[in-house]
Chains A and B, each alone.
Chain A
Amino acid sequence: MSPTAKSLNPFSLKERIKVPRQLMPEQPADERNKNFNEVNLGYSPELARQEALRCLECAKPTCTDNCPVGVNVKEFVELIVAGDFLGAAAKIREDNVLPAVTGRVCPQEDHCEGKCLLSKKVKPLGIGYLERFVADYEQRMGTHILPNVTPTGKKVAVVGSGPSGLTVAGDLIQKGHKVRVFEALHELGGVLVYGIPEFRLPKQIIREQLDYMREMGVEFETDVVVGRTVTIDELMQEEGFDAVYIGTGAGLPQFMGIPGEHLNGVYSANEFLTRINLMKAYKFPTYDEPMLDLHGKDVAVIGGGNTALDAIRSALRLGARKAYVIYRRSEAEMPARAEEVHHARQEGIDFQMLTAPVEFLSDGNGWLTAARCVRMELGEPDSSGRRRPVPIKGSEVDLPLSVAIMAIGTTANPIVQSTTPGLGTDKRGYIQADSNTQRTTRKGVFAGGDIVTGAATVILAMGAGRRAASSIHDYLTTGEW
């Protein structure tokens, strides 16, 4: 493959491969593990241009093909090379309404960067870092390029203001439809706000993205639990919405069903993170929501995903003496983003791999004192394709703990399904939706994100949102179902 004829990049392909991937400036590990400020500090314009020069400008860019929302990587990187950072941001926004978010939390190694041609020889292009840079640059400049739209007179209700709902809202408002987003909590942003901690995704960034969406005309209503406060049918029949998108996100936390899970000190990751991120319980008593004091305590998270790492790294920042990740498989199988595992290790998190709790022990007064764990070895691959962990007989060990956080996944939230007649669900209770159009079994009702797939990532939820927005637009313009 060769650079396009009009390339602004002065380097030959061979030279580009020799340019090292530009390191992301970050807070030193032994400082950041005591504060909630962002770990990554962001590229300077110089670093961004230097990194952008590494792009091979493939004729058939596999990065874009592997992006769930189809960001035009090659073109936005070219604009960075040309020094047109605002243009680069606008280019990304054509496909991605939340670039400052995905630039930070998307597992790029599974998508764009994982397929970058450079990665065959050297480290892949820092696409996530570049995306973050232009989104932040645009924010600092305070100038958005607002799209021109012609109103269609159609109204769409979006249920849930998480990444998939916001994507649908952002895409449809640009097509001229009226969009109103309903949120159950008192703050907008869904998992971006209650789940992902400040040190990985500052809340100010979400507020800025929301302000931008308001500028484009998206309406928001908080404190509305669709299914309870108002039903899908009422939205369509009484409030005049022509289509509804359901993006209600992750459901109830799963527990292991082992003895002692109801002890005081055992949290679900959702509760633990909600107390910290949404309710600011770590600022108690300035904020009223309490949480257990973690100073000098030993804390463990059970699980190996991003949520698990978010929880345990938060615990460390709140003064935990020891902070463990207890994961029943090995590091290779951990679903967490590679950069998060790397950062967590630097910060001093103790990874207890191939280990699983079998019981939580108490002090006799209802408080957790330890997790009885068993060591595992990997056996044959299971249905997920990963090697199944098998307990090693006689390997029990008691790990003293004051707090244990369960981050082993979620189940479907039943509220919308149980109050919407005719809305098909699968046997686990998730909403059935076509994987291309995101149509549900109810005319005019679309769904996507975790409430369809079960717990996944921000970018996959946004991908579903994009597909849904496109088919909602088709439905609203043609009337065909």
Chain B
Amino acid sequence: MFKIIHAQFIAPGIKRFVLEAPRIARKQKAGQFVILRVYQEGERIPITIENSDPQRGTINIVVQSAGKTTQLLNSLNTGDSILDVVGPLGKPSEIEKVGTVVVIGGGVGTAMAYPSAAAFKRAGNRVITIIGARTKELVILETELREVSDVLMITTDDGSYSDKGFVTDKLRQLIENGTRIDLVLAIGPIVMMKAVAEMTRKENIHTVVSLNPIMIDGTGMCGGCRVLIDNKSEFACVDGPEFDAHKVNFGVLVQRNSMYRDAEQKSLQAFKHSAGDPATTQCALAQGGKR
């Protein structure tokens, strides 16, 4: 059982949890993630690590409500527990001093981009961060990212905050202005990462993306997270999650991530139906707590 020390919404539908996980906190590096299972009948899902505190033995995770499991997670509060949390998984980001790094975070991907931006900064790079969100309320980690970035740019799809547009508009501006860019790291929705990859491919700018395929064990056993890199199978949990964006087959990733859409919808509807009664959730969790 992993205790929730603190839980707080940082935007509508996006919650930050501080979890007691001393082993993970000691080892976590930028670019890594955890897999968790909320309760006994729960599925295993990969979740972003935003930060960790090895002294306190805690990790921060950021969860956006989407399917049943993330909605269930986001109904948990300070003092509740999560049955299983395993990690840190995946290879850490390769952090080197390369010059100027553009870190792009889209939506909740911003939470995973944050530790990498901070690490690139610590390694002596000039860090230009671009964060994109649908609307003003969904802009997250602005203050934190401002601290670790030389330049911070924000876009909102609807123009309700900062500049209207997409992260790629900002990236294009940088390229057109002749800004020297040595590396781009993009973490966010697949369409965003694909758009970034297409843009930088033409400019021959080395670009890394963090992929989010369906995953079960996350330890290099099941092979569910296979992605097509340079037309070869690789596994996001042990070979990734970060890959050379110009080699990723994004189409296959989108297609494979849609494999369980019907089941996911069914699960979510059933959960929403029962969620009117908070006792249902609490009951499920209490049962889940017993190993």
Interface residues of A (CB under 8 A from B): 184-186, 194, 222-225, 228-230, 249-253, 255, 257, 261-262, 264, 268, 270-271, 274-275, 278-280, 284-292, 366, 413-415
Contacts and interface: CB of A to CB of B under 8 A. Distances in A.
A230 B27 CA distance: 7
A280 B43 CA distance: 9
Q: Interface size for chain B: under 10, 10 to 19, 20 to 34, or 35 or more residues?
A: 35 or more
B222 A228 contact: no
Interface of B: 23-24, 27, 37, 41-44, 68-69, 83-89, 216-224, 226, 228, 232-233, 235, 238, 249, 252, 255-256, 258-260, 263-264, 266-267, 270
Given A230-B27, A268-B224, A413-B219, 8 more contacts: A186-B37, A186-B84, A229-B88, A255-B223, A261-B233, A270-B221, A270-B222, A285-B266
Contacts of A275: 216
Nearest to A231: B27
A413 B217 CA distance: 13
A319 to B, nearest CB: 15
Contacts of A262: 226, 228, 233, 249, 252, 255-256
B287 to A, nearest CB: 12
Given A270-B221, A290-B264, A415-B220, A252 B238 contact: yes
Given A184-B86, A224-B23, A229-B27, A274 B220 contact: no
B178 to A, nearest CB: 39
A271 B235 CA distance: 13
Contacts of A186: 37, 44, 83-84, 86
A252 B88 contact: no
8 residue pairs, one from A and one from B, having the closest CB atoms: A290-B263, A366-B255, A268-B223, A253-B223, A288-B43, A289-B43, A271-B222, A186-B84
Contact of B259 (A185, A222, A223, A264): A264
Contact of A184 (B24, B27, B217, B256): B217
A230 B25 CA distance: 11
Contacts of B219: 184-185, 225, 228, 413, 415
A223 B82 CA distance: 12
B36 to A, nearest CB: 9
Contact of A222 (B68, B84, B220, B256): B84
Contacts of B233: 255, 257, 261-262
A274 B222 CA distance: 7
B255 to A, nearest CB: 4
Contact of B238 (A194, A224, A249, A415): A415
A194 B221 contact: yes
Contact of B41 (A257, A288, A366): A288
A230 B226 CA distance: 25
A477 B23 CA distance: 31
A228 B27 contact: yes
Contacts of A270: 221-223
B226 A224 contact: no
Contacts of B258: 264, 366
A270 B222 CA distance: 5
A413 B238 CA distance: 8
Contact of A252 (B87, B235, B259): B235
Contact of A264 (B221, B228, B255, B266): B255
18 contacts: A186-B37, A186-B86, A228-B27, A229-B24, A229-B27, A230-B27, A253-B223, A262-B255, A268-B222, A268-B223, A270-B222, A274-B216, A284-B263, A285-B263, A287-B41, A366-B256, A413-B219, A413-B221
Contacts of B24: 229
Given A186-B84, A223-B84, A262-B228, A252 B27 contact: no
Contacts of B232: 257
A271 B224 contact: yes
Contacts of B260: 290-292
Nearest to A250: B221
Contacts of A230: 23, 27
Nearest to B224: A271
Nearest to A365: B255
A81 to B, nearest CB: 41
A258 B220 CA distance: 21
A229 B89 CA distance: 8
A223 B217 contact: no
Contact of B85 (A184, A223, A228): A223
A461 to B, nearest CB: 15
B217 A274 contact: yes
B86 A271 contact: no
A279 B44 contact: yes
A279 B39 CA distance: 12
Contacts of B266: 285
B222 A288 contact: no
A156 to B, nearest CB: 19
Given A271-B223, A413-B220, A290 B86 contact: no
A369 to B, nearest CB: 14
Nearest to B253: A262
A279 B89 CA distance: 19
Nearest to B233: A255
A271 B256 CA distance: 14
Nearest to B252: A262
Contacts of B86: 184-186, 223-225, 229
